[in-house]
Amino acid sequence: MTMTRTGTKPLRAKPSLRILVAALALAALACDPGKDAAQEQEKDKGKGKSQNPAAVNPADTPLPTLSFPPDSSGVPAFDANRAMQYVKEIVALGPRPIGSANHKKVEDYITAHLKGDTVEDDAFTADTVEGKFPVRNIIAKFPGTKDGIIVIASHYDTNYPLRNTSFIGANDGAATSALLLEFANQLRGKKREGYSVWLLWTDAEEAMKSWSDTDSLYGTRHLAQKWQQDGTAKQIKAFLLADMIGDADLDIDRDMNSTQWVESVVYEAATRLGYQSHFFVRSNAISDDHLPFMSIGVPCADIIDIDYGYNNVFHHTVQDTVDKLSTKSLEISGTVILETVRILDKMEPLPPK
Ligand SMILES: [Zn+2]
């Protein structure tokens, strides 16, 4: 994943000062958006991500106001302790870059937890800047009574350029892969009064050398093309992407590269659960697994916290370990995503694509 800063930026300031400093940062960015991005680009060289000049000012584009259906069903069931246990088991496998033995182990780990579910693979060979690699997107399908599909996705590979370090991607890959496993537990064996839910563990999200349109998102670029050709894309009502949201200091970004009405639904879900203070203080434009689906007209929201440690210092470092996460954050992320699905199920009609 990579980003373009559009609004505020990670700050070295006391929490009480953050709003003021954020406003100043926004003003500064409005004057010189390219400079900040260029500095960031320099800083991020060699880390497998890059940034582009700011494109959209979120202050000009408030979240769309929608009319939401009432919901009196309470907090969605979600076992955050079990999700945290999954995180620990996944990172215990070690670094899991594509092409590695550990990558095969995490594939087996995921599919072993989906025994008895309807599981499909999108497996192919990716021609990358580092050569040819097997790539496998894993999809678990839970049917609903309504015509249409909601996809919830997370990548499960770990960063390839860090393959020879102890990088285990506790937040970057493991936490959200675990969230999806717990969603499967909640969906399994129940009749869904709503859209079908497909859980998608994406592969080869990470760049092999340095993030670019052609060196990143190998798995989802393949799957989006496949789903466009076979007609699946037209049936997808919303695509919810989860990334880096186990962070103990949870502050989820508003993503300007996502479909803004879907962002509104996510914020409504967070507000209903009393978790809105963890959402949308910052705005960023994130390049992530949703982009291939955005480009074929699927409504998407990237639910991501790209301030992992002050100034994002833990991201793509060996410090991305379980002690930086919290069970509470998994609970917030998990229940808000399930509440988002619940609202989408009942919104009639959904906004146009
Ligand atoms: Zn990453």
48 Cα: distance to centroid of ligand 1 (angstroms): 8
How does residue 26 score in pLDDT terms, banded at 50, 70 and 90?
very low
Percent of the chain with pLDDT over 70: 84
Tell me the two tokens of residue 313.
């210092």
Q: Side by side, which strands form the sheet with 300-304?
A: 118-128, 131-142, 192-202, 144-155, 236-243, 300-304
CA torsion, ordered 305, 345, 153, 251, to nearest 10 deg: 10
Please, which residues bridge with residue 125 across strands? 134
Residues 286-318: tens digit of each pLDDT: 999 999 999 999 999 999 999 999 999 999 999
206 Cα: distance to centroid of ligand 1 (angstroms): 6
Tell me the two tokens of residue 10.
């990670």
How does residue 274 score in pLDDT terms, banded at 50, 70 and 90?
very high
Calpha distance 333→109 (Å, rounded): 22
Count of Cβ atoms closer than 10 Å to residue 110 Cβ: 23
Average per-residue pLDDT in the chain?
88
Residues 34-65: tens digit of each pLDDT: 333 333 443 343 333 333 434 556 667 899 99
Tell me the two tokens of residue 169.
């991607």
Q: Quick one: pLDDT at residue 262?
A: 98
30 pLDDT more than 70: no
Tell me the two tokens of residue 294.
């955005």
Q: Are 141 and 196 in contact (CB under 8 A)?
A: yes
pTM to 2 decimal places: 0.88
161 Cα: distance to centroid of ligand 1 (angstroms): 10
224 pLDDT more than 70: yes
272 Cα: distance to centroid of ligand 1 (angstroms): 30
Residues 61-112: tens digit of each pLDDT: 899 999 999 988 899 999 999 999 999 999 999 999 999 999 999 999 999 9
The HSE-up count of residue 173 (CA atoms within 13 Å, CB side) is 31
Calpha distance 115→136 (Å, rounded): 17
351 Cα: distance to centroid of ligand 1 (angstroms): 31
316 Cα: distance to centroid of ligand 1 (angstroms): 6
304 Cα: distance to centroid of ligand 1 (angstroms): 12
Respond yes or no on whether the N-terminal peptide bond of residue 349 is cis (omega within 30° of 0): yes
Q: Quick one: pLDDT at residue 27?
A: 38
